[in-house]
Amino acid sequence: MFSKSCQYAIKAVIFIWVQSLEGRKSNPSEISRGINAPQSFTAKILQTLVKKNIIASFKGPTGGFFSNQNHEAKTIFDVVMAIDGDTIFEGCGLGLDQCSSANPCPLHDEFLKVRNQTKVMLTSKTLKELAIEVGDGAAVLARF
């Protein structure tokens, strides 16, 4: 469903939110450990997320990645769009270039329902809300 890059991105952003809610900035080393992902690869993804305004960063000592009021409305949907693009929301399930209700693939109608449920999943809570759940221990970003 999501690329590995995207899975890392989602977990990283929630991790950063958890830290930000406690007033801390995070560096790639902490983040990659916190979400059990390769460090350099995670760092690359973080750069993309900063460019796409999902998170913010600051260089130098006392620097790091963080989230604030500017990012409060963001959801996992925004992360997926930033990393994987709109393929899972727009593309045909069977990969047809042209697939519409007028000219549907055999899966078309049922695939729409899956897609709608997916959109609900990705937009029903903000990243901040998800981070609060993780902060409370109601959900986890990794197993150690």
| Interface residue list for DNA (CB under 7 A) | 3-5, 8, 25-28, 37-41, 43-44, 46-47, 50-51, 57-65
Find the shortest distance in angstroms from Cβ 59 to a copy of itself.
29
Exposure string of 2-41, with b = 16+ CB inside 10 Å and e = fewer, is beebbbbbbbbbbbbbbbbeeeebbebebbbebbebeeee
CB neighbour list of residue 142: distance below 8 Å, 6 or more residues apart:
11, 34, 35, 36
Find the shortest distance in angstroms from Cβ 140 to DNA.
19
**SS3 state at 75:** strand
Find the shortest distance in angstroms from Cβ 2 to DNA.
8
Residue 107: contacted member of DNA, a copy of itself, none (CB under 5 to 8 Å, by partner type): a copy of itself
Residue 65: contacted member of a copy of itself, DNA, none (CB under 5 to 8 Å, by partner type): DNA
Residue 40: contacted member of DNA, a copy of itself, none (CB under 5 to 8 Å, by partner type): DNA
